[in-house]
Structure 1
Amino acid sequence: MPTLVDTLRTAQARRGPLLTDARTTAFRVLHGEADGVPDVTADRFGGLYVLSLYRDFSPTEEEALLDAAMTAWAPTSLYLKRRPREARVLANVAKETLAPETSARGEPVESLTALENGLSFLIRPGQGLSVGLYLDMRDTRAWLLKEARGLTVLNLFAYTCAFGVVAKAGGAKRALNLDASRRVLEWGEENAQLNGQPVDRYDYVAGDVFDWLKRLAKKGETFDLVIADPPSFSNTKEARFSAARDYARLAEATARVVAPGGRLVACCNHAGLPARRFEAMVSEGLSLAGRQGRAVDSSGPSSLDFPSPPGQEPALKVHVVQLR
């Protein structure tokens, strides 16, 4: 019977090609049940590891996991994130409990630069439940890097603007980043500067995405490629959003700003929303906007570091539709 340390070592070893890729230092080394440790994931950023728990673990269980991770992976720093289902409700009132600002083991790290496909991204492990880069989108960002040349790109729910950075690196004429938080957009500007890209504040817009989509549509502004990667759940001063309930509404609003012949990259990371239902919601939204489209691509996370247990589909779904 393998020990927990053995299981963690085996999980990381499965990522062999990533372990030796000098152009990528950010990837997942443990993906829950698929790697033999249910309700636990771990992301690696060079020597920094971020361990996430998806149920309530006892203090003894937490200590055993942390000790095993230190033995198996020998990280320079290990941070802990607690993500029970109610975490999104508690994030603002119990932040220090859910996402301690300091490391659980090893050296505290204020920030570091991680690489993905040769591009640089600023990681801040003590900033909250999210540390600056969603690793399951690596393959989609690699796709964008090849597709962006000469295009105008709209990056919705931009977070730290990784898609915007990749679009510009791929030769996009423009990448407009929209997010509710000015703080993360400023983080996105830092990411652009890390990659030698000029920063135009007009391309980093803070506000409600639905409100801005209405404004853009009213002005008749369109984009060759629109990326919609919303959180599964969000609350702003203006509205509440649930991907499982509201994605058709988002697709409708987004379709109004996609240029004829342009593409909508519809993304959803809600495990409870099946891919077939998600794609139907995207189609429903296009119809409501009076647009027609055809699916030109469909993908998800890399199976190398985001494997799915047998019989289960990945939580992340990426559906690319070309609009007429």
Structure 2
Amino acid sequence: MSASLTERLREARARRGALLSEPSTTAFRLVNGAPDGVPDVTVDCFSGLPVVSLYRDFAPAEEQALLDAAWEAWAPRSLYLKRRPREARVLANVAREVVAPEQPARGAPVEALEALENGLRFLIRPAQGLSVGLYLDMRETRGWLRGQVQGLTVLNLFSYTCAFGVVATAGGAKRVLNVDTSRRVLDWGEENARLNGQAVDRYDYVAGDVFDWLGRLAKKGERFDVVISDPPSFSTTRSTRFSAARDYPLLAEAAARVVAPGGRLVACCNLAPLTPRRFEAMVDEGVARAGREAHPVISLGPSPVDFPSSPDAPSGLKVHVLQLR
């Protein structure tokens, strides 16, 4: 079994040939679960460093066999492990070392490294937690956005480490406002901007509840040419509890109120059980509640090169772009 698994991992890497030979991008998914022949496992690779994620409870021997096979198949300098069972959000608060060990599963510790995406530099911290700094399924959407924002104002909601902000600035945006609940990840976002030689204005990195800030911005009459909404599937702040499956119309409504006439709403969701048709209907419902008319611009998703899908394992990411009147 181990030899067969090693071979499957080698074959998965070989299928990424187009990315392996692209020097301007060193961050991509190496294994995408069942479509790559390794169910319940994903592997994200950052400048040659693989981060393995497990989506069920693996028996210890099974886990070690997988790590041994990955080490043999790819011979990386280090290998990090993340355990993501359904209860991972709870475990992350009470047993973080179990869910996201700070020490590598194999090889030498790596506190931080830089990875490239379409020539832009991003700081990756593989031992930081479940999320290491860059969501790779958004690469295609970020690439599209870069060509759309010259001279425009951009609001980046749920910004995390501000990858959309970095890309928008690189694309010539006039201003980018990043909003996230966490000051720590916003500081990380500022680091990413500086890595790319971009000026940093602390007023454009706002920590707080997104719904609260959308209300404030709407009340002040602020409008943006592009609003990016990429929320976690579930989140809790002091004032709100958000579930994408239940609350996306509310989010789309609040976001639509700060889109300038003729501007665009980039609505994103990564909740796998939510079908693209249902998600788009929820976004459309929210926009209509805001009293805005809209027409679809484009639907986007992850690159099929490193995020292959199948009928039994469809892509979880959905991106619905609307232009609002």
TM-score (structure 1 length as normaliser)? 0.99
Deviation at 1:47, TM superposition (A): 2.1
Matched, 1:264 2:290: no
> Which residue does 1:93 correspond to in 2?
94
Q: Could you tell me which residue of structure 2 aligns to residue 143 of structure 1? A: 144
* Secondary structure at 1:147 match in 2: coil
Letter in 2 for 1:255: A
Counterpart CA distance in 2 for 1:319 and 1:196 is 31
CA distance in 2 between counterparts of 1:203 and 1:269 reads 26
1:160-210 Cα distance to aligned partner (Å, 9 max, x none): 000000000000000100000000000000000000001000000000000
Aligned: 1:9 with 2:10: yes
Asked whether the equivalents of residues 35 and 313 of structure 2 are also in contact (C-alpha less than 8 Å), the reply is no
Correspondence for 2:212: 211
Q: What is the rounded CA distance, in whole Å, between the counterparts of 2:50 and 2:300 in structure 1?
A: 26
Moved more, 277-286 or 310-319: 310-319
Aligned-pair identity (%): 73
CA positional deviation for 1:287: 1.0
Deviation at 1:312, TM superposition (A): 4.6
CA drift at 1:310? 2.9
Q: Separation in 2 of the partners of 1:51 and 1:73? A: 12
Q: Deviations over 1:261-310 (max 9, x none)?
A: 00000000000100000000001001111111000100100011001123
Q: Hey, what's the Cα distance between the residues in 1 that align with 2:63 and 2:313?
A: 27
Indicate the larger mover: 307-316 or 19-28. 307-316
Report the Cα distance in structure 2 between the residues aligned to 1:312 and 1:29, rounded to whole angstroms. Answer: 16
| Structure 1 counterpart of 2:163 | 162
Structure 1 residue 311 displacement after superposition: 5.3
1:198 and 2:224 matched = no
Quote the residue 1:309 is aligned against.
310
Task: Provide the C-alpha distance between the structure 1 equivalents of 2:86 and 2:171, rounded to a whole number of angstroms.
Answer: 37
Please tell me whether residue 120 in structure 1 is matched to residue 121 in structure 2.
yes
- Pairwise mapping of residues 224-263 of structure 1 onto structure 2 (< 5 A)? 224-263=225-264
Q: Residue type of the partner of 1:264? A: L
* Aligned equivalents of 1:89, 1:246: Cα separation in 2: 21
Match of 1:23 in 2: 24
- Cα shift at 1:60: 0.3
2:85 maps to 84
Q: Give the alignment's Cα RMSD to 1 decimal.
A: 0.9
Query: CA deviation digits over 1:37-83, x for unaligned, max 9?
Result: 10000011112110000000011011000000000011111000000
AA aligned to 1:248 is P
1:18-53: CA deviation from partner (whole Å, max 9, x where unpaired): 001100000001000010010000011112110000
Task: Determine the C-alpha separation between the residues in 1 that align with 2:112 and 2:148.
Answer: 30
The letter for the 2-side match of 1:71 is: E
Give me the whole-angstrom Cα distance separating, in 1, the residues matched to 2:151 and 2:111: 36
The superposition leaves residues 120-149 of structure 1 with CA deviations (integer Å, 9 ceiling, x where unpaired) of: 000000110000000000000000111111
Distance across 2 between alignment mates of 1:99 and 1:268: 24
Helix, strand or coil for the counterpart of 2:261?
strand
For 1:48, the aligned partner's letter is L
Residues 156 and 229 in structure 2, CA contact (< 8 A), matched pair in contact too? yes
Give TM-score scaled by structure 2 length. 0.98
Distance 2:222 2:8 in 1: 52
Distance 1:101 1:238 in 2: 31
Which stretches in structure 1 are left out of the alignment for 5+ residues? none
Q: Which residue of 2 aligns with 1:295?
A: 296
Which amino acid in the other structure matches residue 267 of structure 2?
A: A
Aligned to 2:135: 134
